[in-house]
A = this chain, B = another copy of it.
Amino acid sequence: MTDKVRIALDAMGGDFGPEIVAPGAAIALSRKPDMRFLFVGDEARVRPLVDADPKLKAASEILHTDVAVRMDDKPSVALRQGRRRSSMWLALEAVKAREADVAVSAGNTGALMAMSRLCLKMLPDIERPAIAAIWPTLRGESIVLDVGATIGADANQLVSFAVMGSAMARILFDIDRPTVGLLNIGVEEIKGVEEVKAAAAILREGGFTALDFQGFVEGNDIGKGTVDVVVTEGFSGNIALKTAEGTARQIAEYLRDALSRTLMSKIGYLLARHAFDTLRDKMDPRKVNGGVFLGLDGVVIKSHGGTDAEGFAAAVELGYDMARYDLTKKIHEGLASTGAAATPGETALAEAVS
């Protein structure tokens, strides 16, 4: 890596495109000046927004393309129409060519994942990708993966998710051996979670020095922050994430309703306003914006499509951290730490599934 972190931005991604991407980059740059940007998109729209901010202008290049992936394009359509020429693809290609250290896009998740796999390829020892989300908890933040890339992961794939999530946690939380839990359900002796049990056996006996495996956790452990990294396959992970978002919105609505019902409650709300601001701040989805695509030979960050400039800045800074502290190298270290123990791990797996 050069001394600056080089960030390729899909300027046309998201619900608003460059109108959010450019000011978002400017906010991130104001906090972390050692960034350079490659904006990829429609130059006529991007240029004025970048040039409007002298510091941003000085730190940016623009790569023009007319083609943009739409938010509702199916991945297959996006690939057919946008391969090798869309702003999304070209941002990824800059990472592949080592002209950028990380790509950030607020474009649609399915298309971004499909293009990332095709353009960047998987890391040598990783079979399937994962999307890692940052989850606010009572203890701070945790990482939850996979939240939608790999449905029905097998034991070895779950183990590699644990390794990759830990690599991300080492950077994000600045700890040597993040705690890791496998998401499971509490009902005993029920058939069908063989993969999860087998993954636990491997993690327990595989001698993983870069993570601290804590066994199974349940859905309610995520919000408690019981572990730094919660590992599951993409279907249940996505449902957990969306269900938590839905519950938070539901409670916020109940609360708004209840507090606006009487004069007394309105006055109470005004007096306690600072407390509610603190709460809103804690739950602010913009602060934890950004999913990290793991398992690819290159770092890709997915920002929420509907986010504002502040939220996009958070995704850019997440990308900065992952590149600056070398996520890919940390994943390799995590995988290497288990090399010696591969055979016992496999034995454990064989026992667990037999």
Among A219-238, those with CB < 8 Å from B are 219-224, 232, 234-236, 238
Distance between Cα atoms of A353 and B223 in the complex (Å): 37
Structural contact, A239 and B219, CB atoms closer than 8 A: yes
CB proximity of A259 to chain B, nearest CB, Å: 5
- Give the chain B neighbours of A125 by CB distance below 8 A: none
Structural contact, B270 and A110, CB atoms closer than 8 A: no
CB proximity of A199 to chain B, nearest CB, Å: 14
Assess whether A245 is interfacial by the CB under 8 Å rule: yes
CB proximity of A280 to chain B, nearest CB, Å: 9
Of all chain B residues, which has the CB nearest A278?
B258
CB proximity of A229 to chain B, nearest CB, Å: 16
- Give the chain B neighbours of A109 by CB distance below 8 A: 187
Contact of A250 among B152, B224, B246, B272 (CB under 8 A): B224
Structural contact, A190 and B283, CB atoms closer than 8 A: no
- Give the chain B neighbours of A76 by CB distance below 8 A: 189
Contact of A110 among B187, B243, B248, B249 (CB under 8 A): B187
Structural contact, A271 and B275, CB atoms closer than 8 A: no
Distance between Cα atoms of A269 and B270 in the complex (Å): 10
Structural contact, A219 and B193, CB atoms closer than 8 A: no
- CB contact under 8 A between A265 and B258, given known A76-B189, A232-B239: no
- CB contact under 8 A between A240 and B240, given known A246-B219, A267-B271: yes
Structural contact, B236 and A220, CB atoms closer than 8 A: no
Contact of A253 among B138, B232, B240 (CB under 8 A): B138
Distance between Cα atoms of A218 and B109 in the complex (Å): 15
- Give the chain B neighbours of A188 by CB distance below 8 A: 74-75, 110
Contact of A234 among B190, B244, B268 (CB under 8 A): B190
Contact of A275 among B193, B240, B247, B268 (CB under 8 A): B268
Structural contact, B223 and A247, CB atoms closer than 8 A: yes
Of all chain B residues, which has the CB nearest A196?
B235
- CB contact under 8 A between A245 and B219, given known A234-B185, A278-B261: yes
Structural contact, B235 and A219, CB atoms closer than 8 A: no
Assess whether A26 is interfacial by the CB under 8 Å rule: no
Assess whether A279 is interfacial by the CB under 8 Å rule: yes
- Interface contacts beyond A148-B187, A192-B235, A219-B241: sample of 5 additional A-B pairs, CB < 8 Å, sorted by A: A76-B189, A219-B242, A223-B247, A240-B240, A258-B275
Ordered by A's residue number, 28 sampled pairs between the chains whose C-beta atoms are within 8 Å are: A110-B190, A114-B189, A137-B250, A138-B253, A138-B254, A148-B185, A148-B190, A185-B235, A190-B234, A192-B235, A193-B235, A220-B249, A222-B246, A244-B244, A244-B247, A254-B279, A254-B283, A255-B255, A255-B275, A255-B279, A258-B275, A258-B279, A259-B272, A261-B278, A265-B272, A265-B274, A267-B272, A268-B273
Closest 3 CB pairs of A and B: A219-B242, A268-B272, A151-B192
